[in-house]
Amino acid sequence: MDVACSQPLKIAIRGSYFRWYPEETIMIWWIAVGFIAFFLFLIFNDVIWFDKADRTARKLLRKLNKPISKSEVDAARQTMENAELPMVSLSVKLRDNLEPLDTRLGGKPWVPDAENDWPSTDDGTPLCFLTQINFAQVPQTLDLPHQGLLQVFADIDLDQMSKDRHSQESLKRNQNISHVIRWYPHPSNGRVLSYPSGVGKVANQVSLLSQEPDEETLEAFDSDVSDEELLQNGWAVAMESTKTKPPALALAKPHCNLFYHDQAYARRVPKDEHAAQAIRRLHRKSRELQNQQEAHRIGGHPYLLSKQQKKEASKAGLDRVLLQIRFQLATKIRSDAYLILMIAQEDLRAGNIEKARFFWSEHT
């Protein structure tokens, strides 16, 4: 006798019924069994993973408890030495009668005689002139061009940035600051471009910047120089050629990380007095390098880019700092902002400065 597959077949066994269920029900059972098997697999896998993580943690703990030897300190220092890069430090100074082609921070830019346009945003707001670097005046170091004029304009308002620096709107805006990079390979005859209306306040903020000049410059500024004069002229720049190393390079190499601000390795104790002295010297050197990297500069390491910015720069092949300018934000807790131009080394060597990329980084 045929039985429709949609009807369960009932067989009497000892006065009760045993059901042979339809295919749909059997499939549900198989799915349930599969879920249970998968759940058991996850539990088993977690047990193995946690056991592996526990072994790794114990191994790291043994390593952290191991005293730091002088040879380990020397290895960290040598790693820093091997990563040395040329750098030109920039410091502000007061100087009357800047020539149109002179290097300056703030003030007015040089332009060719036939050029009259001041860079602006899409809505017509004039950009702020930040800096002009004449590479003919820069101490010659490896890879830098021997001549050419670099100018940077950007849409920044330090007062507004200080007020809402932690808001999402501020973070989004600061990551997409309107800017213009101008590069003149062979500047010669020309003139200083006058300010358009609407740029005065911001330009004055930029001309003051954040790096404090020496006492003599400050006294001259307080007594003899008005805001309007600074707005018109900007700061002159003193330059010094040097070499620098990354202050936190060892952070990327935990096996040789000895810096005081890494809490895990701060728990390790020196093996002996020789190691202790070497660590103290390395700490002092790291702090000196950190202060050096935070100043206005040409070249050096991309130390102050955020983690995300470093990824973007690396992906684009931008491995050299062309220029870094520091600003101080007026917040309760001291905060600094940095304009950083990154460029690929091959473009730097070829003089393709117009390929530099603009980054804005803030630090508390």
- State both tokens at 56: 């790794």
Tell me the pLDDT of the chain (364 aa) as tens digits: 444 444 444 434 444 444 555 666 777 777 888 878 877 776 766 666 666 666 666 565 556 567 788 888 888 788 888 888 889 998 887 666 789 999 988 888 999 998 888 998 888 888 888 899 999 999 987 788 999 999 999 887 665 555 555 555 555 555 678 899 999 999 988 998 887 775 654 444 444 444 455 555 555 444 444 555 555 667 888 898 988 887 754 433 333 344 433 444 455 677 888 888 887 888 788 778 877 788 889 998 888 888 889 999 999 999 999 999 887 765 444 567 888 999 999 999 898 999 999 998 877 6
Tally of CA atoms within 13 A in the half-sphere of 54 that contains its CB: 6
282: Cα separation from own chain's centroid: 23
Of residues 309, 268, 238, the one with CA closest to residue 72: 268
Q: Could you tell me if 103 and 83 are in contact, meaning their C-beta atoms sit under 8 angstroms apart? A: no
**Maximum Cα–Cα distance across the chain:** 116
Q: Are 206 and 337 in contact (CB under 8 A)?
A: no
The two tokens of residue 336 are 């600094």
Residue 44: CB atoms within 10 A of its CB come to 10
Query: What pLDDT is attached to residue 244?
Result: 84
Among left, alpha and beta (phi > 0; psi -120 to 50; other), residue 5 is alpha
Q: Which residue has the tokens 């804005």?
A: 360
**Bridge partners, residue 298, by sequence:** 88
Q: How far apart are CA 44 and CA 35, in angstroms?
A: 14
319 is written with which tokens? 């491995």
For residue 296, the tally of other CB atoms under 10 A from its CB is 24
What pLDDT is stored for residue 347 in this prediction? 94
pLDDT for the residue 136: 94
Pull the structure tokens for residue 102: 């002179």
The SS3 assignment for 73 reads helix
CA distances from 278 to 74, 178, 256 (A): 8, 46, 13
Helix (H) or strand (E) holding 145: none
Phi, psi at 239, each rounded to 5°: -125, 145
Query: Which pLDDT score is estimated for 7?
Result: 45
Contact, 70 vs 275, CB < 8 A?
yes
CB neighbourhood size of 184 (10 A) = 21
DSSP line for 154-180: E---HHHHHHSTTSHHHHHHHTT--EE
